[in-house]
């Protein structure tokens, strides 16, 4: 099948969930299909990153990504019905390149990653599959609800604009793909397929790179995303003080792009921030004892949870964090809701090496059986076949 893929991001390096998902899917999809990728490229991404993606695509066409936070973008969203997110991805160059390639080549299918680049696609008779990693307006709505009351009305108006844009994009697609049943139900459409996230089970294996008495409790994420900032705030302010009441030899390790910058105003005892770790992600998991994922915003299947489980780590998350995964509580994963529950689960886990080992082993087995990227790519390929049939 000849596929045109349009994405709001170049999926390399593997610094965020979206990049990891798309890159791994492309690794398998390109074996069956001829894929042309048109995508936005950020300033920090290098030519070598483009070449890595070219290895798994027939062709890669890049468009420079505009800076989201600019005076012109703020003015544009203030005087128009376009949301701030949409304004940042309003790219005439992308529209032009997509129009030209559709006119010059015959494609069987168009795959669009994220609704906010959908408007760059011209009217076409080619079937379109739109993939939603999250329902964006709901994430921004949650953020607006907890924002400063002085700016809350402005944020809620932006959420309304985003909701309108996102639902319009859904109407234009031949088929929609969500990453969990929850998002599928929230979309309230008949043409939604669930294709969850996965884990690279060859890359992420149970390994331990250190031997000491200090227990490392890990939180990892990209701090440009609201949900990661929210989760880190909960850990530092509400969970960690309770952990320290009953445990001495413990360390909270917060890893991710812009971690110290976005969380610089938060202070705490026995906490390390790491913006640019010198280790690969699998080595980071190998140095941790427990992964914390107090997810309160968003949904889907969290990549960091899947990768940590594949690495044999004990994961402690919320019911929401496990919602799209379906691991067994107390056997393959630990579930907590309130800060005191998280603290109690951490204390219980680090006090029993046997329990940690048993849960880690079962977590690994669960991921191997259900979340290999090859299996996930097969599910997406099934969607493609149904849409063009």
Asked if residues 36 and 57 have their Cβ atoms less than 8 Å apart, the reply is yes
Q: 105 and 36 in contact (C-beta within 8 Å)?
A: yes
3-class SS of residue 314 = strand
pLDDT of residue 227: 80
pTM to 2 decimal places: 0.88
- Per-residue confidence at 210, pLDDT binned at 50, 70, 90? low
Q: What is the pLDDT of residue 307?
A: 97
Cα three-residue angle 275-276-277, rounded to 5 degrees: 110
In this structure, what is the dihedral angle of CA atoms 10, 11, 13, 17, given to the nearest 10 degrees?
130
Calculate mean pLDDT across residues 39-66.
Answer: 97
Buried b (16+ CB within 10 A) or exposed e, 149-171: eeeeeebeebbebbbebbeebbe
Torsion of CA 279, 284, 286, 290, to 10 degrees: 170
What is the CATH code for 2-198+373-388?
A: 3.40.50.2000
Q: For 296-354, how does the pLDDT look when each residue is reduced to its tens digit (9 = 90+)?
A: 876 667 899 999 999 999 999 999 899 889 999 999 999 999 999 999 999 999 998 89
User: In the chain, where are the structural domains located?
Assistant: 2-198+373-388, 215-370
CATH number of this structure's domain 215-370, picked from the four choices 3.20.20.210, 3.40.50.970, 3.40.50.2000, 3.40.50.12780 = 3.40.50.2000
Q: What is the DSSP letter of 317?
A: E
Do domains 2-198+373-388 and 215-370 share one topology? The answer is yes
Say if residues 346 and 241 touch (Cβ distance below 8 Å).
no
């Amino acid at each position: 099948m000849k596929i045109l893929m349009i994405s709001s991001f170049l999926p390399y390096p593997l610094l965020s969930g979206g990049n990891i998902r798309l890159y791994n899917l492309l690794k398998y999809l390109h074996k069956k299909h001829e894929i042309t990728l048109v995508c936005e490229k950020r300033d920090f991404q290098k030519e070598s990153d483009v070449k890595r993606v070219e290895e798994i695509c027939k062709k890669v066409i890049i468009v420079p990504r505009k800076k989201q936070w600019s005076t012109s973008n703020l003015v544009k969203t203030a005087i128009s019905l376009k949301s701030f997110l949409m304004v940042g991805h309003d790219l005439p160059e992308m529209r032009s390149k997509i129009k030209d390639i559709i006119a010059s080549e015959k494609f069987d299918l168009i795959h669009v990653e994220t609704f906010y680049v959908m408007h760059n696609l011209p009217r076409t008779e080619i079937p379109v599959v739109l993939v939603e990693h999250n329902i964006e307006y709901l994430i921004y709505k949650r953020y607006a609800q907890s924002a400063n009351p002085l700016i809350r009305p402005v944020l809620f108006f932006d959420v309304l604009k985003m909701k309108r844009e996102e639902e319009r994009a859904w109407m234009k697609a031949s088929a929609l793909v969500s990453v969990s049943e929850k998002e599928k139900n929230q979309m309230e459409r008949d043409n939604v397929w669930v294709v969850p996230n996965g884990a690279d089970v060859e890359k992420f294996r149970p390994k331990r790179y250190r031997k000491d008495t200090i227990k490392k409790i890990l939180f990892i994420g990209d701090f440009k995303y609201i949900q990661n900032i929210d989760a880190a705030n909960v850990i530092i302010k509400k969970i960690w003080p309770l952990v320290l009441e009953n445990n001495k030899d413990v360390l909270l390790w917060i890893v991710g792009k812009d971690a110290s910058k976005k969380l610089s105003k938060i202070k705490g005892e026995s906490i390390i921030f790491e913006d640019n770790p010198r280790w690969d992600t699998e080595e980071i998991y190998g140095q941790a004892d427990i992964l914390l994922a107090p997810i309160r915003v968003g949904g889907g299947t969290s990549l960091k949870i899947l990768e940590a489980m594949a690495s044999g780590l004990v994961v402690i998350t919320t019911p929401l964090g496990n919602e799209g995964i379906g691991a067994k509580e107390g056997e393959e994963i630990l579930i907590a809701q309130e800060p005191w529950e998280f603290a109690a689960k951490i204390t219980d886990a680090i006090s029993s090496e046997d329990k940690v080992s048993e849960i880690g082993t079962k977590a690994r087995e669960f991921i191997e059986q259900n979340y290999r990227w090859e299996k996930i790519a097969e599910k997406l390929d099934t969607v493609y076949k149904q849409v063009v049939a």
